[in-house]
Amino acid sequence: MDGDAVREFASDLPREPGVYQFLRDDGTVLYVGKAVDVRSRVRSYADPRSRRIANMVERADGLDFAVTDTETQALLLEANLVKRHQPRYNVRLKDDKSYPLVQFTDHDAPRIEVTRDPEEGAVAYGPYTDIGQVNTVVKAVREVYGVRGCSEHKYRGRERPCLDYEMGLCTAPCTGEIAEEDYLTDVEAARRFFEGEPGVLADPMRREMERAAQNQEFERAANLRDRLEDVESFHGGAGAAVASHDDTKTTDVLGVAVEGDRATVARLHAEHGQLVERDQHYLDAPDRAADSEEAAERANGEGRPVSHIADLLAAFIVQFYAERELPDRLLLPEAHGDDDVAAWLDAAGVEVQVPGAGREATLVDLALKNAHRRAGDKDELGALADALGTARPERIEGFDVSHAQGKAAVGSDVCFVGGSAEKAGYRRKKLDDENDDYANMKRLVQWRAARALEGRDDRPDPDLLLVDGGEGQLNAALDALEETGWDVPAVALAKDEEVVITPERTYDWDGDAPQLHVLQRVRDEAHRFAVAYHQTVRDEVSTALDGVDGVGPELRKRILRRFGSVEAVREASAGDLRDVEGVGEKTAETLARRL
């Protein structure tokens, strides 16, 4: 678009609050803005004040707008549109992800699971910040109360209980091993734990720990002790004191560090005078605040344009809290300088402070230190983008296949966001038994691509696919992408030479190259996840322990409860096996020989 086109479009716009979007013909959103007067604001783009804005207008093919009843509605609509479309020319919150919840589904036999997207009708608890502790607690709940964790597909139409029943993680309502009424009673007890009654889980675990100690099962007793600590601290969340203990306000403290076109925001969250959360978030900050059309019109009380940090704070506050509960108090390193944001926070009763001294100033300093510490980390993804000559691959999915000479073939699909594993995005698939790594990789990538193109995969498309292997595996993946029409770049990382293979060339980076390290983490995790699933498929109880002389259903159940998996049984010594009640010397020798 040129200036005349912008002025012509603006002449038909209303003089009301609202949002506007600069668009490409293919629907790509380049920029989203808010305005008290949409016509006046859009007209200002006919004579842009910076080269960056001029470039954006030149790239745009059209404009769209929406009016709102109030300026606050425009503020929140802008935040939602920025989060949805991630426009190139906006300040963008990159890791605006939700925290995990624990849900009990709305089924006749409810399922318990950790999720970030609760099902309709489910009873959800949380959110929680420590995913490891949540998983530990959910496993403890299942061991104590036998609440199922399987999908509906696996639950329906079963003729015999699955491995979870054998391991004591489920009471198998699917096959009637427990009466429906008794199962629902157990579910209700499990829910009471998440509603704030730790004793309903901690007390039976403590009794089991004491029983294990009395029976000289010291390893099991120690394991129960460690997990009991997680259970007992689950509702506590104590941290360093950040305010007086009689303070009932919730407080968020923000610190910002900027490095190039990327910013890190560190957030400290306190409740009842205790620090209970620390997290970091990343913003794409493609411009200085003084270069943006809106920031150039905003000024502080002394008539000076707001700073870059202030502009970033304003963008972060709206995007982060638009779908979250606001705290009672915000402590900032400097004023955010946005009148619309100030009006929104004031209407919500949020007290905003820029402390100059005292306890609050110390907290802001701590947040700033956290932000600078993270901003100073090696930017592995930036280095990878530079090395490959691509856009920053914020979201990477890694693929690998595993089989035993063509038997029990499986594939893994792991997900990394911002260079860290996002296990909620992991997927796995059984493949046709075939002793052909290339064919297996092609089928695995075809499966992922088809699900994405048909809208059956709830995950965003990745910025980069990484396959575990060499040129053959990469070509198989590229064939799958070409045949399905899924437009996602792919590379391979070979294990032996540690070289990165792309469709155009091969890279042999130094062993300490940050771009290599992030790909190695993804590759290694894809391999680990594939191998673990392959062992699970290979070691189905019905084939591994059934038929072993002297091992009946009850003894099999005790063995699995003691060791946790068939693989652990395989690695156990004869003496360890004999420690299980009912396993004599002959049976232990038979197990060792058969497995």
**How many angstroms separate the CA atoms of 171 and 197, rounded?**
22
200 and 187 inside one domain? yes
Residue that terminates a domain, selected from 204, 233, 262 = 233
Q: Which residue has the higher pLDDT, 302 or 3?
A: 3
Q: DSSP states of 219-259 as a string?
A: HHHHHHHHHHHHHHHTTT----B-S-TT---EEEEEEEEEE
Write out the residue range of the structural domain in which residue 195 sits.
Answer: 101-233
Last residue of one domain, picked from the residues 63, 90, 117: 90
Mind listing the pLDDT tens digit for each residue in 513-527? 888 989 998 998 898
Give yes or no: residues 579 and 547 share one domain: yes
* Judgement on whether residues 118 and 203 belong to the same structural domain of the protein: yes
Mean pLDDT of the 554-575 span: 75
What pLDDT score was predicted for residue 396?
96
Give the per-residue pLDDT at 112. Answer: 93
CATH of residue 56's domain is 3.40.1440.10
Rounded to an integer, the average pLDDT of 289-295 is: 41
Longest dimension (CA), the chain: 92
Between 303 and 63, the more confident residue is: 63
| 238 domain residue, yes or no | no
Contact yes or no for 6/40 (Cβ under 8 A): no
Q: How far apart are CA 553 and CA 588, in angstroms?
A: 16
Dihedrals φ, ψ of 102, to 5°?
-110, 125
Which residue among 355, 375, 395 closes a domain? 375
Q: Which of 306-310, 347-351, 371-375, 573-577 comes out lowest in average pLDDT?
A: 371-375
Residues 124, 155 within the same domain? yes
Dump pLDDT digits (tens) for 396-435.
Answer: 999 999 887 778 889 999 999 888 888 888 999 999 888 8
In a domain, 240, yes or no: no
Q: Quick check: 306 pLDDT over 50?
A: no
Confidence (pLDDT) at 32: 92
User: What is the reported pLDDT for 474?
Assistant: 95
Q: Confirm whether 243 is domain-assigned.
A: no
Predicted confidence (pLDDT) at residue 271 exceeds the cutoff of 80: no
Sheet holding 250-259, edge to edge: 92-93, 274-284, 262-271, 250-259, 329-331, 351-353
Reference 204, options 188, 228, 169, 239; nearest CA is 228
Q: Please report the pLDDT score of residue 270 as a whole number.
A: 80
Q: Are residues 228 and 119 in the same domain?
A: yes
Mean pLDDT for the stretch of residues 300-311: 56
Categorize the per-residue pLDDT at 303 as very low, low, confident or very high, splitting at 50, 70 and 90: very low
pTM tops 0.85: no
Which residue is listed with tokens 């360093």?
A: 240
Q: Are residues 75 and 156 in the same domain?
A: no
- 8-state DSSP, 263: E
What pLDDT, on a 0 to 100 scale, did the predictor assign at position 94? Answer: 60
Region of poorest pLDDT, from 318-327, 483-492, 534-543: 534-543
Between CA 399 and CA 407, with CA 402 as vertex, the angle to 5 degrees is 145
Same domain, 547 and 532: no
Say what the pLDDT of residue 241 is: 30
Residues 6 or more apart whose Cβ sits within 8 Å of residue 393: 381, 384, 385, 462, 463, 464
Q: Are residues 127 and 187 in the same domain?
A: yes
- Asked whether residue 415 falls in the same domain as residue 529, the answer is yes
CATH of the domain at 565: 1.10.150.20
Stretch 542-565: mean pLDDT, rounded? 70
Please state the domain count of the chain: 5
Residue 529 belongs to some domain of the structure: yes
Summarize the confidence of residues 550-557 as an average pLDDT: 77
List the beta bridge partners of residue 267: 254, 279
Could you tell me if 505 and 574 lie in one domain? no
Q: Are 155 and 174 a contacting pair, CB within 8 Å?
A: yes
Same domain, 110 and 86: no
Average pLDDT value over all residues in the chain: 81
Tell me, yes or no, whether 79 and 128 share the same domain.
Answer: no
